[in-house]
Amino acid sequence: MAIDWENPATYANALIQLEENITRDRNRCNIVVWSVANETHISDARLNFLRGLIDRAREMDNTRLVSAALLKNTPKGTATVEVKDPLLPYIDLVSFNQYNGWYGAGGPELCDKIVWNLPKDKPVFISEWGGGARYGFHDPTRKAYFSEEYLEDVYTHQIASIGRIEGLAGCSPWLLMDFRSPRRQLPGVQDEFNRKGLVSDKGQRKLAFYVLQKWYLDMARAEKQAAAGKPAGKK
C-alpha cells in the first residue's frame, strides 16, 4: 500500500478515521476487534505510525482486542507460511489475509501443501480468505477460474488447510455477498462486481456457501457433543 507514513497530515487523517469509527461502533455487541491496518509493508515509519493508532484505540476502548491484517511470507522454494512483523508485539492477534489456491499458481490443491509456521504466543485469526465465482457459471471439469465448482474446491481445500493451524481462534471468509467494484472489469464475469461473495448480489447461494455452512454446522455439532461428554461423530 502506498501510504505516506512520515506525513503528519496522513497520520492525523488516520487518527480521525479511527476515532470516528470507535465512537460510532463501540456500543455494538458484534464488534470484537479494532483493526488499524490492512496488508501494509514493513518499515520503521509504518511501525511508529501504527503504534500510535494502536495506543489510541486502547485509550478509547480497553475492552476489545486490537490487531491488523499483516502480510504473510512464504520463503522461496517452500510451501511454508510465516508471519514475521515487528508490529506483532503490540497487537493482540496473529492476523493475516490468505487466498491460497486462488491467487497464484497451483490451484486449490496448493492448500494441501501449506505448512503453517506461525507465532505460538497469540491466537491466530485469518482476517480474509476465499476466492471468487460468478453465480450460475458452471464447469464440469472444475478447472475454470470463476466457476462455482472451482470456488467450491477452493473453499474445501482452504478449510482443510486452515484447520491445521495450531492456535486458530477464528476466521472471516471474504466475503458474504458480491458487491459493486468498478475496478473489477473482467467482461462477462466480474462486470464491475467483486465476485468473492458466497452469495451473489441478488442473494443466490453459490456452491461454496454450502461448503462453509457444513463446516460451521460440523464444528457446532462437535462442540455440543464435547459439552455433553460424547465423542465427536457419535449421535
Q: What is the DSSP letter of 103?
A: S
Is 65's pLDDT higher than 70?
A: yes
Report the C-alpha gap between 85 and 99 in whole angstroms.
Answer: 19
Report the C-alpha gap between 11 and 2 in whole angstroms.
Answer: 14
Report the C-alpha gap between 116 and 73 in whole angstroms.
Answer: 11
Phi-psi region of 159 (alpha: psi -120 to 50; beta: other; left: phi over 0): alpha
C-alpha cell at 145: 477460474
Nearest in space to 136 (alpha carbons), one of 95, 166, 178: 178
pTM: 0.92
* pLDDT tens digits, 25-54: 999 999 999 999 999 999 999 999 999 999
Strands (E), 9-87: 33-38, 65-69, 80-82
The pLDDT confidence band at residue 104, using thresholds 50, 70 and 90, is confident
Q: Which residue has the cell 453459490?
A: 206
pLDDT score of 235 = 53
* pLDDT tens digits, 154-182: 999 999 999 999 999 999 999 999 999 99
Strands (E), 49-142: 65-69, 80-82, 94-98, 115-117, 124-129
Q: What is the DSSP letter of 117?
A: E
The pLDDT confidence band at residue 2, using thresholds 50, 70 and 90, is confident
Q: What is the DSSP letter of 188?
A: T
